[in-house]
Amino acid sequence: METVNPLKPAEPRDRKLSIHVVTWNVASAAPPLDLDHLLQLDKQDPNLDMYVIGLQEMSRGILSLLSDTAFEDPWSSFFMDVLSPLSFVKGNKGGVNICLKLYGYYVSIINCHLPPHLANNDQRLEHFDWILEMQNFEGPDIPNILDHDLIIWFGDMNFRIEDFGLHFVREAVKSQCYSDLWEKDQLSIAKRYDTLLREFQEGPLLFPPTYKFDKNSNNYDTSEKKRKPAWTDRILWRLKRQPHTDSCTPRRPAPHLSLSLRSYISHMMYTISDHKPVTGTFDLELKPLVSVPLISLMPEGLWTMENALLINYSFTPDFPSSPWDWIGLYKVGFRHINDYVSYVWVRDNQVSFNDRLNQVYINISDIPETEDQFLLCYYSNSLHSVVGISNPFKIQPQAFLEEDPLGEVQPQI
């Protein structure tokens, strides 16, 4: 017979998240018509919780820069056309390095484009080490990248195949004897002696080299340069290791966090670029270090199209609240944090507050009457991200009051 102590908080359950990583040097091309295969949306049940998409060589001409200032870039727009109906949201962060805090764990996501050409291998390795050692994040108590619990690093790393001639490499690829080429792959060689790179793992290269192809074909480079095929597009990961307990005990991954590779493949069907896209699908298993969200949001009572409405929210004791925090009202399926229907500053419109519960009001009288479902999102100015999302709810049309047979006034929806 099992007994439970009601005064002792329950242990947080282990979580399993599926992450799909995409890296693609798109060579300034526009998006193709269909990316379902790349995103695994052609599968009956892709069972994915997070997409991590990194592109290289997106068009950055003058017209592109002007359009990006006023509008979303075409690649981001295309991906969100596909993913936003499935409730995926593109966050407000940009650049090549993103830091996430996931159930209390620090996760660093790095998208890179390292120097090209066979002879520049030392320069590639210098860039690799420099990014890891020099990059820092703004914000309270965010550790250096090397102290993050998980690093996912991907991109056009531009590592090439040494020594072997063009004919040998092409014949090995044609006969799918990829193992003959692995020993001369510059990244594989560097992992043997570079102390930082050695800590990163990669899946087996069981797919053809992803560079360099003639555009709009599956033929390797037929130009005058006739570049050797190479696995330039890679996905790596690193789990933080426990410190040595003694001189004889090797460091091991923390027992409460593990990452397993489900698939690591290229996608030959896409021909718009001289690179083929590569995807890696991972299962991340972890024991949450925090079981309570920083912010809990809930609408108060029945929301109707009338005047100001109340929002209840609570936050954990260590949450760094700011007068510039705000709560946004969104339609389910929104694409970006700026797609709010309405918003309210948490301090300006505060109704009441105490240690456990806070109330603010939001005016939605200008919202058109629709059948859409809505969400509330709490944006933290200190953490530069959304830290709380409510469950979906509907905003009812305006209520009418009517007498019942007993003479009492009842609301009618």
Q: How far is the first Cα of the chain from the last one, in angstroms, to the nearest whole number?
A: 50
Of residues 326 and 393, the one with the higher pLDDT is 326
Beta bridge partners of 169: none
User: Contact, 239 vs 257, CB < 8 A?
Assistant: yes
Q: Confidence band (pLDDT; 50, 70, 90) for 91? A: confident
User: Contact, 336 vs 89, CB < 8 A?
Assistant: yes
Residue 74 φ/ψ, nearest 5 degrees:
-65, -30
User: Contact, 234 vs 209, CB < 8 A?
Assistant: no
Amino acid in position 87: S
Q: How many CB atoms lie within 10 A of CB 189?
A: 15
- Whether 289 shows a pLDDT value over 60: the answer reads yes
Distance CA 271, CA 219 (A): 10
Q: Above pLDDT 70, what percent of the chain?
A: 81
Task: Summarize pLDDT for 198-239 with one digit per residue, the tens.
Answer: 999 999 999 999 999 999 999 999 999 999 999 999 999 999
State the pLDDT at residue 86. Answer: 85
Q: Which two tokens stand for residue 288?
A: 């949450």
Q: Above pLDDT 90, what percent of the chain?
A: 49
State the pLDDT at residue 411. Answer: 40
Distance CA 296, CA 351 (A): 17
DSSP 84: G
State the pLDDT at residue 141. Answer: 77
State the pLDDT at residue 368. Answer: 66
User: Contact, 387 vs 295, CB < 8 A?
Assistant: yes
Q: How many CB atoms lie within 10 A of CB 343?
A: 16
Q: What is the mean pLDDT of residues 112-131?
A: 91
Q: DSSP readout, 191-203?
A: TTT-TTGGG-B--
- Whether 6 shows a pLDDT value over 60: the answer reads no
C-alpha distances (whole Å) from 343 to each of 23, 243, 299, 338, 378 are: 35, 46, 14, 10, 10
Q: Which two tokens stand for residue 250?
A: 């090797």
User: Contact, 57 vs 25, CB < 8 A?
Assistant: yes
pTM across the whole model: 0.83
Cα-based angle 51, 52, 57 (whole degrees, multiple of 5) = 130
- Whether 142 shows a pLDDT value over 90: the answer reads no
- Domains (range + CATH), the chain: 15-286 (3.60.10.10), 295-394 (2.60.40.2840)
Pick the closest to residue 315 from 300, 306, 307, 327 (CA basis). Answer: 327
Amino acid in position 292: V
Distance CA 200, CA 280 (A): 15
Q: Which two tokens stand for residue 334?
A: 């929104």
Q: Which two tokens stand for residue 226?
A: 């006739």
Pick the closest to residue 59 from 94, 21, 25 (CA basis). Answer: 25
DSSP 135: -
**How high does pLDDT run on average in the chain?**
84
Task: Summarize pLDDT for 237-282 with one digit per residue, the tens.
Answer: 999 976 554 445 455 455 589 999 999 999 999 999 999 999 999 9
DSSP 252: -
User: Contact, 53 vs 79, CB < 8 A?
Assistant: yes
Within a 13 Å sphere around the CA of 178, how many CA atoms are in the beta-carbon half? Answer: 11
C-alpha distances (whole Å) from 136 to each of 95, 98, 139 are: 13, 11, 10
Q: Which two tokens stand for residue 377?
A: 């999102």
Task: Spell out a b/e string for 74-83, using b for 16 or more CB atoms within 10 Å of the CB, else e.
Answer: ebbebbbebb
Give every strand in the sheet of 308-315, ordered side by side: 295-299, 308-315, 358-363, 350-353
